[in-house]
Structure 1
C-alpha cells in the first residue's frame, strides 16, 4: 500500500490528545507525534491508504539524468529503453553475441514494449521467409554496447527476452491494400506514398516471452491519457544508439532534450517552412525539435520521446519514426502515444 500525507482539522483538543492514533478516522494512521506538533491544537495529521497503481515504479528514475545535446546518458537513467537486436548468423541460435542492435523500443508494462512497425519488421523479418521469433532478441537494462557486462551497483542490469506475440495498430497501413508481415511490405508502402505511408498509426506492441523483473535499470515508463498534452514542454528527451556523424552506431546510449509541439503547431511549422507544398502530417503523429540541432538517426527509430511531469515521473509522449535521411533542419516526426493510449491500454490488459 502507498501512504499519502493527509491533514485534517477536527474538534478542538489539547495537543496531547491531538497526537493519539485514535484521533485518526478509519483507514488512516498517525504520521508521527513530532509531526503532529507542527499543527495548532485540534489539528489531526494522518495518512490515508490508497491502492498502488499497477506499475508502481512507472516513469521513475533512480539516478539523476544528465540532460544535454546528443550526449552520453547516465547508466539506468532511461530504464524503460530497450534494444531490439537482430540475429547475425542465421545458422546459429540468437544470443547477445550473435546479434546486433537495430532499433529501440520502450517498456510500457512488465511484459510489453512499444515500438514502430518499421523497427520491428526490419529487426525480425527482412524477407517473407524469415521467422520473427527466431531473429529478434530484446535487451532491457542495456546501456553500453561495447561492454559484455555492465555492472550497476554490483549487479548485471541486463535482461534478455524473446518475442511471444505482437499486435500492430489496426489502422497501420490502412487503405494501402498491403498486408504488412515483413520489411519488404514496408518498402511497398514507401513506393505507394513515401515516408508518410509507414509513419501513419505507426505502433506495434510486442509481448515478451516472460515478465521483466523491475530494478533500478529496468522499469516501465508511464502512459499518457488521451487528453494529455506536453505542447511546448522542454522537459522532454529522446534516447537511442543511432548513427553518429561517421555512420556508426553509438556505443553508449545517447540522449538529447526536445521541445514537443501539438499536432496543429506541427502543421503550422510545416506550412511556414514549405507553404502549400507542405505534406500532410501522418495520422496519430506530432513533432518535436532540439534547439541546438540534435536529431535521431538510423538505429534510433522505435525509441521513446519521454517527457517529465511536475511529479517527477516520465511519460511516453512519442515513439521515434523512421526517416530516410537524418536531417536536423526539420522537426522530428513522432508517433503520438496520447492518440493511441486507449488502444495501448486495452491491448496490454
Structure 2
C-alpha cells in the first residue's frame, strides 16, 4: 500500500491551490467552449439544521494556526482522524478539536490536539482522486459521552444505498462566505450513476450524494467532514460544482475503498 507520511514543512507533490480564508476553497470553472471542468470544493451545509450539541460524537474541526475552523474531520480511532487530502496543512499549523459545537464559544467540553503525523494516500490534486488524509493526534482522545469514533464499513456491510447524514460548520447559504457558528447536518441520499452529471470525472474512489431536486448539500467549510450512512462512515466531503444544485450532487471520497489502508496505517504507526 502506498502512503505518504507528511510532517513539518514537507509539502504534497505538485502545487495545491488553496485560498486560505476562514474556509478552504478551491474554485475552478466549467467552460463549454474549452471543455474544462471547474470544481468548487464543498464545505458548507445547505438546507440542514443545527444538531443537538455533542450528538455527532465523531465530528472533528480542523483549525489553522489562528484557531479558525477551515475543514471538518472524522474520528476513526482514539488517536486518528480522517479528513480530505485537499485540507492538508503542515502539521505545526494545524490543530484538531473534538467535542466542538459552537466555534465561537468555549463550552468546556472541547478536546484540543496538536498533530504529530499526517498520511496522504496518493492524492491527485488535479482530479481529486484519493482525497483522503489520515491525521495522528498528539495523544489519544478521551472517549466519553461526547467523543466516540465512528464505525468504519467493512466487507460484511452492505454498500450505501439509502439515507445518509453529512455534517459540518460550513456556510448555510449559497454565495455566502460566513461559516455557521454551530454544527449543522443535513440528510442526503446517495445518487448512483453520477458520472453522467460530471462528464466522466467520477472515479471508482468517489461517490455522490445529495437531493435530486437540489437544496440539500455540503459546501464551503464542510470539506473533509463525514458522510455517515446507516451508522457507517461512507464518505468524505470532497468536491462538486457549486452547492445544492439539482444537476450536480456533492462528491465524496468513498471511505470503504480505504479501510484496509486506514487500518494498516493505524496498526503500523509507532
- Shorter-chain TM-score: which interval? 0.7 to 0.9
Number of the residue aligned with 1:250: 180
Counterpart Cα distance in 2 of 1:221 and 1:210: 18
Number of the residue aligned with 1:232: 161
Counterpart Cα distance in 1 of 2:211 and 2:149: 25
Maintained 8 Å contact 1:302/1:320: yes
Number of the residue aligned with 1:162: 114
Instruction: State the SS of the aligned residue for 2:64.
Output: strand
Number of the residue aligned with 2:63: 85
Task: Give the CA RMSD over aligned residues.
Answer: 2.0
Instruction: State the SS of the aligned residue for 1:105.
Output: strand
Instruction: State the SS of the aligned residue for 2:257.
Output: helix
1:75 aligns with 2:75: no
Q: Cα distance, 1:148 vs. partner?
A: 2.0
1:44-123 map, 5 Å: 69-88=47-66, 99-119=67-87, 121=88
Which digits, 9 at most, give the CA deviation of each residue in 1:186-210, with x for residues without a partner? Answer: xxx44xxxxxx1x211111110000
Counterpart Cα distance in 2 of 1:327 and 1:83: 22
Counterpart Cα distance in 2 of 1:345 and 1:328: 35
Structure ID, larger Rg:
1
* Match of residue 321, structure 1, among 238, 244, 264: 238
Which digits, 9 at most, give the CA deviation of each residue in 1:295-338, with x for residues without a partner? Answer: 11111010000122xxxxx2101111034632432121110111
1:1-349 map, 5 Å: 69-88=47-66, 99-119=67-87, 121=88, 124=89, 132-149=90-107, 156-169=108-121, 171-173=122-124, 189-190=125-126, 197=127, 199-226=128-155, 228-234=157-163, 236-245=164-173, 246-261=176-191, 265-266=192-193, 269-271=194-196, 273=197, 278-290=199-211, 293-308=215-230, 314-323=231-240, 325-329=242-246, 330-349=248-267
Which digits, 9 at most, give the CA deviation of each residue in 1:88-146, with x for residues without a partner? Answer: 3xxxxxxxxxx100010000001000001111x2xx2xxxxxxx232111100001112
Structure 2: runs of 5 or more not aligned: 1-45
Counterpart Cα distance in 2 of 1:140 and 1:202: 22
The number of aligned residues is 218
Maintained 8 Å contact 1:242/1:297: yes
Q: Cα distance, 1:244 vs. partner?
A: 2.4
Maintained 8 Å contact 1:240/1:300: yes
Q: Cα distance, 1:347 vs. partner?
A: 1.2
Number of the residue aligned with 2:29: none
Greater mean alpha carbon deviation, residues 331-340 or residues 220-229: 220-229
Counterpart Cα distance in 2 of 1:115 and 1:211: 17
Maintained 8 Å contact 1:226/1:342: no
Structure 1: runs of 5 or more not aligned: 1-67, 89-98, 125-131, 150-155, 174-188, 191-196, 309-313
Instruction: State the SS of the aligned residue for 2:77.
Output: coil
Number of the residue aligned with 1:184: none
Return the structure number with greater helix share. 1
Maintained 8 Å contact 1:118/1:322: no
User: TM-score if structure 1 supplies the norm length?
Assistant: 0.59
Query: Using CA pairs below 8 Å that are at least 6 residues apart, which structure has the higher relative contact order?
Result: 2
Maintained 8 Å contact 1:72/1:255: yes
